[in-house]
Structure 1
Amino acid sequence: MGTARILVTSAFLRPGDATDLALREAGFDTVHAPLRGQRKPGELESLLEGVSGVIAGSDRFDEGVLASARDLRIIARTGVGYDSIDTAAAASRGIAVCNAPGVNSAAVAELALTFILMLARKVPEAMRSVREGAWARPTGLQLDSSTLGIVGLGAIGRTVAQHAQALGMRVVAHDPYADRGYAADHDIALVPFEQVLDEADVVSLHIALTPETRHLIDADALRRMKRTAYLVNTARGPVVDENALIAALDAGDLAGAALDVVEEEPLAASSALRDHPRAFVTAHIGGSTSQARDESARVAVESVVDFLQGRPPRNVVNPGYRQNLVTG
């Protein structure tokens, strides 16, 4: 049996970097094919020929792609989310899927706080005015004594809450799985989802994409929010119904929105969100700090190396793969 090949698709990883060297020192060959934009039809299937493991960025591994990958044994995401991977299809083929939980919590929380500050003080509007030769001085929202509504009180949501409280904000949150003791100890009021929408001056989303959370922020949810409120999404794009959001922004039913994620990435050139006066979008940069990227790559490499050298990997999100594991 020849040397196992590892495909690396995360856009921030390069041949000769620490990740590449670690894989090669472990005895593997590496193939780099970073995902930037959209792949051509059949491109990923071709790249997976003869590949045993993947250090994966945001490539979509659906049932068809996985069915073509006859030698694939493990996919390790350099990130927390894994909604781009059909984990059930992977499990049925004995392919382990791992993520890197917690590695980018601080980075994403900091970006969410940045967005909150930029929206509250209307920084994009003020910058645009100066760029266009004017000198507008828009009236913003003082965060001290304002209310932040957090949807999803996991590691990122909790960190955002701490940052917001340091600025004097009151924090309300909705999460049916939240640690109630933690919330009580940290002065976070756990309330129904509708109450978050009713009370918050800023709503910040920190939830995974599931069938239940897809379009959680729809037209009805947006109508419940204050006309003066802002929406921040650093979670997953499809959590927000973009058409409903654009309609609410156009009608002035929402003061503004900041999105680091969108329903289809990259954002279509024709999207109204690209130059909407009440919104701004960044290109999924929540985890894009050097520290978060280094740690996510280290965790992904550890998972791949452990698995292919016969040790159980950490952070497996589809443990059912073991029932279909191919050995030998």
Structure 2
Amino acid sequence: MTKRVLVTTAYLAPGGEVDRLLGAAGFETVFKQPGQELLDVVEDVDGIVAGTDAFTAKVIDAASRLRVIGRCGAGYDNIDIEAASRNGVAVTFTPGANRRSVAEHVLALMLNCARLIPQNIASVQAGGWEQRSGRELEGATLGIVGLGSIGKTVARMALALGMRVLAYDREPVAEPGVSSVSFEEVLRAADFLTLHIFLSESTRHLIDAEALRLMKPSAYLINTARGEVVDEDALADAILSGSLAGAALDVLREEPLPADSRLRGLDNVIVTAHIGAATVEARSRSSLMATRQVIDVLQGRTPENLVT
């Protein structure tokens, strides 16, 4: 029987490089269609090239033939790892595939904050011609929480711009030009604080009211990691009270941003639609890596970046 691989990643399509790679390996490719529920399409597949869909215990339990989920991305908190392990389903992910794209997005967000670009664009479109003073990045302090592959790439870009770079990581990592400091120190010193950590029980709401109180009133928070690592209510309080200059968020507690979010409409809060890794290059690297991992498992080999 020909093995079937389901592709749920929204930006992948029939005839593309993932489809061709699976076909060359002798597998049948099935693409999840917009509006389809996972429960309706997982029952008779052997592998999944997965996007951001929620692979709950109910979904995994319903997939009786499933042997592997290859997650296109650096995080896998949308997959119930315990349920996968219980069902003998291997889970893989693609760390590092999107590090350049995410790091460049962090730089773009930081520049937008520093030079008040969104506010200036809005003013010009409304008929104004304001010339508010921003600030240069050279000489500013960048604080990084999480010095993994993305954090390191951000650090190198910031150093090239003449920034002072401090980093906090639970397991201190040596990186040329970067000073390793405590969590409290990085909060207090940062002009821009960027987050690059996985979501876990220990990191959920790591940036809470207490953490935000330690930051400078002139500082900006940048989050391209996971929305839940920031307490959004505490963030809204800090910005509205003037105890934080602003924030740039590519990830949110709930996506899309709810209409009644307290962050909506604040001119010193930039929100992008989780596009940090949304480049042609990063998506190609990530999807091909995940597909090769799926193929490895289905052909009896041990894949790279195995979670369980």
Question: In which range does the TM-score fall when normalised by the shorter chain?
Answer: over 0.9
- Which residue of 1 is the match for residue 296 of structure 2? 306
Cα pair 1:209 1:239 within 8 Å, conserved: yes
Q: Tell me which amino acid in the other structure corresponds to 1:33.
A: K
User: Could you report, residue by residue, the CA deviation over 1:55-76 in whole angstroms, capped at 9, with x for unpaired residues?
Assistant: 0000111112111111111000
Match of 1:33? 32
The structure 2 residue matched to 1:97, chosen from 79, 91, 96, is 91
Q: Please say if residues 9 and 52 of structure 2, whose CA atoms lie closer than 8 Å, have aligned partners that are also in contact.
A: yes
C-alpha distance in 2, partners of 1:255/1:117?
A: 14
Shift of 1:3: 1.5
Q: Are residues 1:16 and 2:6 paired?
A: no
The separation in 2 between residues aligned to 1:152 and 1:34, in whole angstroms, is 36
Write the mapping of 1:267-286 to structure 2, written as runs, cut at 5 A: 267-286=257-276
Which residue number in structure 2 is paired with residue 324 of structure 1? Answer: none
Secondary structure of 2:184's counterpart equals: helix
- Distance (whole Å) between structure 1 residues aligned to residue 141 and residue 128 of structure 2: 32
Correspondent of 2:136 among 134, 139, 142: 142
Q: CA deviation at 1:189?
A: 1.2
Q: Please tell me the residue identity of whatever aligns with 1:14.
A: A
- Report the alpha carbon displacement of residue 187 of structure 1 after superposing the two structures with TM: 2.1
C-alpha displacement at 1:272, in angstroms? 3.0
Note the C-alpha offset of 1:289: 1.2
Q: 1:191 and 1:34, CA in 2 relative to 1: closer, same or farther beyond 3 A?
A: farther
Shift of the alpha carbon at 1:243? Answer: 1.0
1:224-243 counterparts in 2 under 5 A?
224-243=214-233
Q: Give the Cα–Cα distance (whole angstroms) in 1 for the partners of residues 300 and 155 of structure 2.
A: 41
Secondary structure in 2 matching 1:293:
helix
The within-5 A match list for 1:56-205 is 56-179=50-173, 182-183=174-175, 186-205=176-195
| Higher mean C-alpha displacement, 160-169 vs 261-270 | 261-270
Question: Counterpart amino acid of 2:131?
Answer: R
**Preserved CA contact (<8 Å) 1:149 1:204:** yes
Per the alignment, residue 196 of structure 2 pairs with 206
Task: Give the AA of the match of 1:234.
Answer: T
Name 1:323's counterpart in structure 2: none
In structure 2, give the amino acid aligned to 1:137.
Q
Secondary structure, aligned partner of 1:275: coil
Say whether the 8 Å CA contact 1:274–1:280 is kept in structure 2: no
SS of alignment partner, residue 245 of structure 1: helix
Match of residue 245 from structure 2 = 255
Mapped partners of 1:266, 1:53: distance in 2: 28
In 2, Cα distance between equivalents of 1:231 and 1:201: 9
Q: Distance in 2 between matches of 1:275 and 1:10?
A: 31
SS in 1 for 2:264: helix
1:34 shift after superposition: 5.5
Give the drift of 1:28: 1.3
Which residue is 1:219 aligned to?
A: 209
Deviations 1:117-165 (A, max 9, x none): 1101111111111111111112112211111110001111111111111
- CA distance in structure 1 between the partners assigned to 2:135 and 2:83 by the alignment: 47
Give SS of 1:60's match: coil
- SS across alignment from 2:46: strand
Alignment check: 8 A CA contact 1:232 1:259 kept = yes
Q: Which amino acid aligns with 2:142?
A: L
Q: Distance in 2 between matches of 1:166 and 1:220?
A: 32
- Structure 1 residue 85: deviation in Å? 0.6
Q: Is the 8 A contact 2:220 2:245 kept in 1?
A: yes
Q: Which amino acid aligns with 2:122?
A: R
Instruction: Name the residue aligned to 1:296.
Output: 286
Partners of 1:118 and 1:169 in 2: CA distance:
16
Write the deviation string for residues 204-232 of structure 1: whole angstroms up to 9, x where unpaired.
10111111110001111111111110000
Q: Using the alignment, how far apart are the partners of 1:173 and 1:114 within structure 2?
A: 20
Number of residue pairs aligned between Structure 1 and Structure 2: 308
Q: Secondary structure in 2 aligned to 1:55? A: strand
Q: Kindly report which structure 2 residues correspond to 1:308-323, keeping only aligned pairs within 5 A, or say none.
A: 308-318=298-308
Change (3 A) 1:291 1:98: same
C-alpha displacement of 1:269: 2.7
Structure 1, unaligned stretches of length 5 or more? 319-328
Inter-partner Cα distance in structure 1 for 2:203 and 2:62: 30
TM-score if structure 2 supplies the norm length? 0.97
